[in-house]
Amino acid sequence: MSSCKHSVLVLLPDRKNVLRCQHCHLTIKADELGKSYCPECYEINGNKLFDFEEVAAENPGRARYRCEACGLIVESD
Ligand SMILES: [Zn+2]
Ligand SMILES: [Zn+2]
């Protein structure tokens, strides 16, 4: 085993940041959407709707970090 103490941890991007439109059920990444309206609803009926819900996470409540020194992925609650 390595002697790395994993002291340089970098937070990995959160995969649960996916939003679903409550009208057309389009799913889109939060950072892709930004602060914009649902592009699908806008295309269908011209309404600018902002009714999104967060999609359930694959690992709820877990943050994932990578050690910069050895590259190990660690999870924390
Ligand atoms: Zn390490
Ligand atoms: Zn929509």
Residue-wise pLDDT for 34-73, tens only, equals 889 999 999 999 999 999 998 865 655 678 899 999 999 9
| CA nearest to 76, candidates 59, 57, 66, 63 | 63
Angle at alpha carbon of residue 58, lines to 25 and 55, rounded to 5°: 25
Judge if pTM exceeds 0.85. Answer: no
Question: How many angstroms separate the alpha carbon of residue 23 from the centre of ligand 2?
Answer: 5
Q: Tell me the CA–centroid distance for residue 48 and ligand 2, in Å.
A: 9
Distance (Å) of CA 33 to CA 21, 25, 37, 46: 11, 14, 8, 17
How far separated are the first and last CA of the chain, in Å rounded? Answer: 24
Strand partners, 10: 66
Q: Which ligand is nearest to the CA of 6?
A: 1
The bound ligand whose nearest atom lies closest to the alpha carbon of 73 is: 1
Cα gap 65→63, rounded to integer Å: 7
Ligand 1 center from residue 43 Cα (angstroms): 48
Judged by its nearest atom, the ligand closest to the C-alpha of residue 28 is 2
